[in-house]
Amino acid sequence: MKAGQDRMAEIIPVDKAKTLDGLFRERVQRSAQKIAYRYFNPISEEWDNYTWEQMNQFVARWQAGLAKEPLVAGDRVAVMMKNCPEWVMFEQAALGLGLVVIPLYTDDRAENAAYIINDANVKLLLLENSDQWQEFLTIRDQIEGVQRIVILQSFERDNRNLRDNTRVVFAYDWLPVQASEVKHVGDDPHNLATIIYTSGTSGRPKGVMLSHHNILSNADSCLQIVPVLPDDVLLSFLPLSHTFERTAGYYVPMMAGAVIAYARSIPQLQEDLLTIRPTLLISVPRIYERVYAGIHAKLAEGPGFARWLFNFAVAIGYSRFERQQGRGNWRFTHLFWPLLKKLVADKVMGKLGGRLRFVMSGGAALSAEVSRIFIGLGLPILQGYGMTESSPVACANRLEDNVPASVGLPIPGVEVKLGENNALLIRGPNVMLGYWNNPEATKAVLSPDGWLNSGDIASIDAQGHVTITGRLKEIIVLSTGEKVPPADMEAAILRDPLFEQVMLVGEMRSYLSVLAVLNPSRWQAFIAQHGLNDNLDNEQQRQQIEEILLDRITQQTNGFPGYARIRRVAVVQEPWSVENGLMTPTMKLKRAKVMEKYQAEIDRLYKGH
């Protein structure tokens, strides 16, 4: 009881914070000497800490730098950096001056970033390094409206020629050595705080306008259902330009007083997990899917008894979970759990740091099978649902009410209902102000009485649990009239570690097919196992490879309806990425672009049908 009281006492109320910079101010006042952020120092090659008071001093310096520029409240400033304390310093400094912050993805293409910069009339741009400016130099004439470009890391000597633009300064030169108190010029919670541009799987991205209250209310609602503690440590690795990370992995911990550690990179995530030993993780499904695939790949290489023991442990663990949720009975086999936990679960959890209390998943659908593995090993995984336009969380599972196949109940203060074509509608204080400079797009998704049309197809059970069944614009309609939401089937195929990326096709065709990008290392093992080579130009060999792949796909998808059977597969050798324009910065597939690029392959899959 006392722990719960201490937790509630530590949480900063929305009406006390009022604004996002007000939230930071309150946290500094309450926890000045407490560790706020952990980061890897590349100079010392060690992990260092910043306290809240130290962060406050840095924010004052960044504010003094911004104050030197001809900026007024309401002006837009953009940040294009990986997750780091400086990202927070810059944003808090800007928000305190009444500026509107626009996050950009570090791996987005320069021309895409230029569109956003121009659309929002950005006055100041913060970049991480000179390589990014090198990219912008190719389209410098497209961002002439930017008055100042600040680069965090100094130029290398051989890049000094990049300093030919008077707008460009180094943060080291631009920031004063010290500054006075942090300013908070506004206290209207309904003022515009940020414009977040949606990825745009088709067409140009739209700028989602979110107020301080939109985000603060969302963070507060999340804390009412997710027990984040003051002594929790969250490892942050989703980009802060992603709304899910920004609300749940930045503002929620700040509101609760928890510590945030910034991972170095996704390739170094495994090592960082072991070093930081986080108690909480927030991720998109792909990370969990990779861990899942890695576990099964290792089991496949080991003895049969190890596979049996692992599966037995997961089955018992999941059965215990179902009983704890009130959906199952006690079984004699539950008595084996302490031993199975020691022999199996603890070893797997140890590779994730060994201290995780629970993890959260959002941004896309997480398959029930992947959830089952983690939950069966004793790690609760809470799937939620939201969108940038809802700040972003709308629904989430709870520890005491967790239905893994669903995205849970609406969070406190948020209403949901089904509209036309079973589209999920959302209403609450978290719903956006509208799209920047785009009243037509705003009117298309936001009703006069405040209901936001998510564009996702859903069902709601008698208890109120929401299940997302598809996306209105992504539903594949076969020539037979059957409708197939591709996401679930694609997630099922990706359970096989051989497949790195897949996309279902079949619009107005008589059957479904798959375009598949294979995991490079497992591809080599695959062709060696079957006595083949990687020459896909050989028609006979290509057919043989596709038949074997189709069998593996069928194994993963045999639980879907008969009309959704996949009959053909084509191997695509170039991975889909942000760089080649086939993925959005939030790692969503641009289906129309993929289909356009591989139209010849798709036509081959349906030749003669």
**DSSP codes joined into one string, 136-151:** HHTTGGGGTT--EEEE
Residue 461's pLDDT is what?
A: 96
- Identify the domain boundary among 227, 261, 294: 227
Cα–Cα distance between 138 and 135 in angstroms, integer?
6
Domain for residue 407, yes or no?
yes
CATH of the domain at 33: 3.40.50.12780
SS3 530: coil
Specify the range with the lowest mean pLDDT, choosing from 124-133, 536-545, 596-605: 536-545
The answer to whether 89 and 58 have CB atoms below 8 angstroms apart is yes
Domains in the chain: how many in total?
A: 3
The answer to whether 210 and 432 have CB atoms below 8 angstroms apart is yes
Domain for residue 433, yes or no?
no
- Identify the domain boundary among 227, 259, 293: 227
pTM: predicted TM-score of the whole model, two decimal places: 0.84
**Does residue 201 have a pLDDT over 70?**
no
Mean pLDDT, residues 312-337: 97
Mean pLDDT, residues 132-138: 88
Q: Per the structure block, which two tokens stand in for 156?
A: 């290398």
Cα–Cα distance between 322 and 327 in angstroms, integer?
5
Q: Smallest Cα–Cα separation from 364: which of 391, 383, 380, 390?
A: 383
Between these two residues, 293 and 306, which has the higher pLDDT value? 306
Per-residue pLDDT of 205-261, as tens digits, reads 899 999 999 999 999 999 999 999 999 999 999 999 989 999 999 999 999 999 999
Cα–Cα distance between 550 and 559 in angstroms, integer?
15
- 65 CB contacts (<8 Å, ≥6 apart)? 93, 150, 171, 174, 175, 176
Q: In this structure, are 200 and 246 located in the same domain?
A: no
Per-residue pLDDT of 495-523, as tens digits, reads 899 999 999 999 878 899 999 999 988 88
Cα–Cα distance between 63 and 66 in angstroms, integer?
5
Mean pLDDT for all residues in the chain: 91
Domain for residue 143, yes or no?
yes
> Could you tell me the sign of the dihedral formed by the alpha carbons of 475, 476, 481, 483, in that order?
negative
End-to-end CA distance of the chain, in Å? Answer: 66
Q: In this structure, are 355 and 418 located in the same domain?
A: yes
**Does residue 158 have a pLDDT over 50?**
no
Q: Per the structure block, which two tokens stand in for 594?
A: 């993929």
DSSP percent split of the chain into helix, strand, coil, nearest 5 = 40, 20, 35
SS3 570: strand
Q: Percentage of residues in the chain with pLDDT exceeding 70?
A: 95
Domain for residue 436, yes or no?
no
Q: In this structure, are 522 and 400 located in the same domain?
A: no
Residue 243's pLDDT is what?
A: 93
Per-residue pLDDT of 524-578, as tens digits, reads 888 888 888 777 777 888 888 899 999 999 999 887 777 788 999 999 989 998 8
Q: In this structure, are 208 and 251 located in the same domain?
A: no
Q: In this structure, are 384 and 278 located in the same domain?
A: yes
Cα–Cα distance between 417 and 460 in angstroms, integer?
8
**Does residue 604 have a pLDDT over 50?**
yes
Q: In this structure, are 412 and 275 located in the same domain?
A: yes
Domain for residue 446, yes or no?
no
The answer to whether 385 and 408 have CB atoms below 8 angstroms apart is yes
Per-residue pLDDT of 98-109, as tens digits, reads 999 999 989 888
> CA-based angle 272:278:280, to the nearest 5?
130
Q: In this structure, are 220 and 282 located in the same domain?
A: no
Residue 203's pLDDT is what?
A: 60
**Does residue 268 have a pLDDT over 70?**
yes
Q: pLDDT category, 475, cuts 50, 70, 90?
A: confident
Per-residue pLDDT of 30-57, as tens digits, reads 999 999 999 999 999 999 999 999 999 9
- Identify the domain boundary among 199, 227, 255: 227
* Domain coverage including residue 595: 476-605
DSSP H/E element including 89: helix 85-96
Q: Which amino acid is at 222?
A: C
Is residue 368 exposed (0-12), middle (13-18) or buried (19+ Cβ within 10 Å)? middle
Q: In this structure, are 507 and 558 located in the same domain?
A: yes
N residues, the chain: 609
Strand 233-236 and strand 393-396: pairing?
Answer: unpaired
Per-residue pLDDT of 139-154, as tens digits, reads 888 898 999 999 998 6
Chain centre to alpha carbon of residue 143: 28
Cα–Cα distance between 592 and 444 in angstroms, integer?
21
DSSP H/E element including 396: strand 393-396
Per-residue pLDDT of 410-457, as tens digits, reads 999 999 999 998 999 999 999 999 999 999 999 999 999 999 999 999
- 64 CB contacts (<8 Å, ≥6 apart)? 175, 176, 179, 180
